[in-house]
Amino acid sequence: MSTKQTLFTNAIVYTVDPKDTILTNAAVLVEGSRIAAIGPSEQLRNQYPQAEIVDVTDRAILPGFVNTHIHLSMTMTRSIADDIEAAKWLPVVWAMESNLKPETVYAGAVLGIAEMIASGTTTFNDHYFMMDEVARAVQETGIRADLAFAILENRNKKKGEKDLATGEAFAAEWNGKAEGRIRTRMGPHALYTCSTELVQAARAAADRVGVGMHMHVAESAFEMTLVGKKAAGPTSIQHLAALDILRSDFVIAHGLNADARDIEILAELGVGIAHCPQAYAHIGGWPWPHIDEWAAAGVAVGLATDGTASNNNLDMFDEMRLATEVRKLQARDGTLLPARQMLRMATIEGAKVLGLQDEIGSIEVGKKADLIFINTRQPHLRPLHNLPSHLVYSARGADVESVMVDGNFLYKDRQHLTLDVNAAMERADREFAAMLGRGGWSVTMQEPKAGLAAALKLGVTQQALSVMQVLVGSEQASEDTIL
C-alpha cells in the first residue's frame, strides 16, 4: 500500500533552514508523516503527478512553533492572580492549585491545546501535576509534547519520595506513546522546592528510564540560600553542573540569574534555556535577561509562554514580539534580536532546546511534517515584502489558518479537526466553577477578586510562604505580606 502524498503549491515557504531560505511560488510535498520534497511548484507538480494538489496561494508555510516551557493546565487559573505584587503571585496560584482534580487538569489541557494549535504551536514542553490527564489529551488531539510530572518536596521528605516515584512511573509509562508524539522527562520543580538529594535522585531516575529532565533553574537570585553548605558551586547552574545533573538532555526553564560563567558552562554542556518574556513582564519583579548574549555564547534559547496564570495566553507570536522589543528598549539598540532570529527561537532553536532539531523545527526533507499555514492576504500583512518582520512585528496567532503534525491536519481553514472546541470551553467553565467551589472562592465578572483574600488565607501554607521568601529575598514574609 503506497503512502499518501500531498503537494502544497504556490506557497511562500519559510524553511528556517541554516540559511533561513525563503522560497516563493514554492511547493512542499508531504508523504506520510514527513517532508519528502521542497522546490518550485511547477517542477514538483511534474515530478509527483500522483500527489494530491492543494493550492495554498497567499499562504506562508512555516515549521510549527515549539513552546519550550509551559504548565499547560494552568489555563484553569488564567487571570486569577493578575495585577498584584510579584511576591503574592505564587501563594495565590498555589492556593488555587490545591483544589485541582484530574478532571480539572484534563479540562485545562484540552483547552490549552486548542489555543496552542489555533495559534501555530505544534510541540510543547509541559511540567505539571496529574500528568496522565495531560498525556491523554495529547494522545487524543494529535499535538506533539514532552511531558514531566512536577516533583516537589517543600521540606517534606516523604512527599518528595512519593513525587519522585510518581514522576518515574509516569515517565516510564508514557514515553514514546501516541505514535511517538509523546516523550517524557523527569521534572524536579526547582532548588527552592527540592533538596539537592532529590534532584540527584531525579537524575538517576531519568537515566534509568532513558529520558531527559526539565526544571526551573536560576529563577531567583536567592534560591541557593536553601542549598546552603551543601552547594557544589556558587550558583544554581554551577552547583547542578558539578553534580553531573546538567547534561544536553536537560531543559532549563528561565535561567534569569545566570552569570557569564553559567552561560559558558551551558554552552559547553549543550544545555538550552526556555525564555518566557510575557510571564516576566506580566508578573514583574524579575530581571530581564540578555538572551542575545546567551545565543551569541552558543546557548540554544527557545521561546516559551509559561503557564497562563502568568502570561495570560499561549500565543507564540506575542512571545517573539515582546522578547525582541523589550530587549531593544532595555539596551537602546534597535539592531538586537532581529526578526529572523526571533523566528528561529520560536522554531529550530526551541527544537534544539528539546533535543528534537533532527526531527522538527525547520522545513527540510526528511523532517516531520509539523507545518503551519499563515494567511498573508490581510491588511496588516501588506505590502508583503519583508516576511520575517511581518511575522514577528505584525502577525498574531489568529493569522494561522491551518496546522498539521506528523502530516495530519489538526486544524484546517480555522476549524479544529481533532477536538470539539465548544465542548472544551464548556468543560473548562464547568470545572473552573467546581474548583472555585472546593476552595470556597467567590468570583464574579464584576468583582473577580471578591472573597479572594479570605479564601486564600485558608489556603496559604508554610511552604508557599517559604518559597515566596526565597523568590523575593525576604526573611520577613508573612501571611499579612501576602494578603
pLDDT tens per residue, range 348-375 = 999 999 999 999 999 999 999 999 999 9
The grid coordinates listed for 54 are 492543494
19-46: average pLDDT: 99
Q: How many Cβ atoms are within 10 Å of 114's Cβ, its own excluded?
A: 27
Q: How far apart are CA 171 and CA 188, in angstroms?
A: 13
The residue whose grid cell reads 511534474 is: 46
For the chain, the residue count is 483
Which pLDDT belongs to residue 478? 39
**Structure confidence at residue 45 as a pLDDT band (50, 70, 90):** very high
pLDDT at 448: 54
User: Which conformational region is residue 395 in: left (phi greater than 0), alpha (psi within -120 to 50 degrees), or beta?
Assistant: beta
What confidence score (pLDDT) does residue 33 get? 98
**pLDDT at residue number 238:** 97
Question: What does the pLDDT read at residue 85?
Answer: 81
What pLDDT does residue 471 have? 52
Print the SS3 string covering the chain.
CCCCEEEEEEEEEECCCCCCCEEEEEEEEEECCEEEEEEEHHHHHHHCCCCEEEECCCEEEEECEEEEEECHHHHHHCCCCCCCCHHHHHHHHHHHHCCCCHHHHHHHHHHHHHHHHHCCEEEEEEEECCHHHHHHHHHHHCCEEEEEEEECCCCCHHHHHHHHHHHHHHHHHHCCCCCCCEEEEEEECECCCCCHHHHHHHHHHHHHHCCEEEEEECCCCCHHHHCHHHCCCCCHHHHHHHCCCCCCCEEEEECCCCCHHHHHHHHHHCCEEEECHHHHHHHCCCCCCCHHHHHHCCCCEEECCCCCCCCCCCCHHHHHHHHHHHHHHHHCCCCCCCHHHHHHHHCHHHHHHCCCCCCCCCCCCCCECCEEEEECCCHHHCCCCCHHHHHHHHCCHHHEEEEEECCEEEEECCEECCCCHHHHHHHHHHHHHHHHHHHCCCCCCCCCCCCHHHHHHHHCCHHHHHHHHHHHCCCCCCHHHHC
Round the CA-based radius of gyration of the chain to a whole number and report it. Answer: 22
Place of cell 502544497: 8
* Model pLDDT, residue 472: 46
Determine how many CB atoms are found less than 10 A away from the CB of residue 181: 21
Model pLDDT, residue 387 = 98
Fold type of domain 65-83+106-353:
TIM Barrel (3.20.20)
Residue 120: C-alpha distances to residues 235, 284, 306, 315 (Å): 36, 27, 16, 8
C-alpha cell at 274: 526556555
Higher-confidence residue: 468 or 341?
341
Residues 6+ apart with CB under 8 A from 45: 7, 9, 27, 53
**Tens digit of each residue's pLDDT (9 = 90 or more) over 128-172:** 999 999 999 999 999 999 999 999 998 899 999 999 999 999 999
Average pLDDT, the chain: 92
pLDDT at residue 286, rounded to an integer: 84
Please report which confidence band the pLDDT of residue 447 belongs to, taking 50, 70 and 90 as the band edges: low
CATH superfamily, with its number, for domain 5-63+363-416: Urease, subunit C, domain 1 (2.30.40.10)
Nine cell digits for residue 41: 511548484
Mean pLDDT of 10-22: 99
Cell readout for 207 is 537515566
Q: Does 451 have pLDDT greater than 50?
A: no
HSE-up (13 A, CA, CB side) for residue 403: 29
Contacts of 75 (CB under 8 A, 6+ apart): 108, 109, 111, 112, 115, 307, 308, 314, 428
Which residues are CB-contacts of 291 (< 8 A; sequence separation ≥ 6)? 273, 275, 301, 323, 327, 337, 345
Work out the percent of the chain whose per-residue pLDDT is above 90: 81
- The arithmetic mean of pLDDT across residues 380-406, rounded, is 98
Predicted pLDDT of residue 459: 45
* Stronger pLDDT, 252 or 228, i.e. the higher one: 252
Q: How far apart are CA 17 and CA 347, in angstroms?
A: 10
Grid coordinates in use for 441? 472562592
Rounded to an integer, the average pLDDT of 439-445 is: 70
272-289 confidence digits (pLDDT tens): 999 999 999 999 888 999
Domain boundary assignment for the chain: 5-63+363-416, 65-83+106-353, 421-482
Q: Is residue 481's pLDDT more than 60? A: no
Measured CA to CA in angstroms, residue 29 lies from 1, 248, 387, 400, 471 at distances of: 18, 32, 22, 20, 49
Q: Are the C-beta atoms of residues 323 and 277 closer than 8 Å to each other?
A: yes
Q: 203, 453 in Cβ contact below 8 A?
A: no
C-alpha–C-alpha distance, residues 205 and 172, integer Å: 10
- Whether the bond between 312 and the residue before it is cis, its omega within 30 degrees of 0, is yes
Reported confidence tier of residue 250, pLDDT bands at 50, 70, 90: very high
Q: How far apart are CA 453 and CA 442, in angstroms?
A: 10
> By percentage, how much of the chain surpasses pLDDT 70?
91
pLDDT(458) > 50: no
pLDDT at 474: 45
Matching fold, domains 5-63+363-416 and 65-83+106-353? no
Alpha carbons 191 and 236: distance in angstroms, whole number: 8
Whether the predicted model's global pTM rises above the 0.85 cut: yes
Q: What is the mean pLDDT of residues 316-345?
A: 98
Tens digit of pLDDT for each residue in 90-113?
Answer: 878 888 888 999 999 999 999 999
- Is the pLDDT assigned to residue 181 strictly greater than 90? yes
Buried b / exposed e across 153-173, counting CB within 10 Å, b at 16+? bbeeeeebeebbebbbebbee
What pLDDT, on a 0 to 100 scale, did the predictor assign at position 229? 78
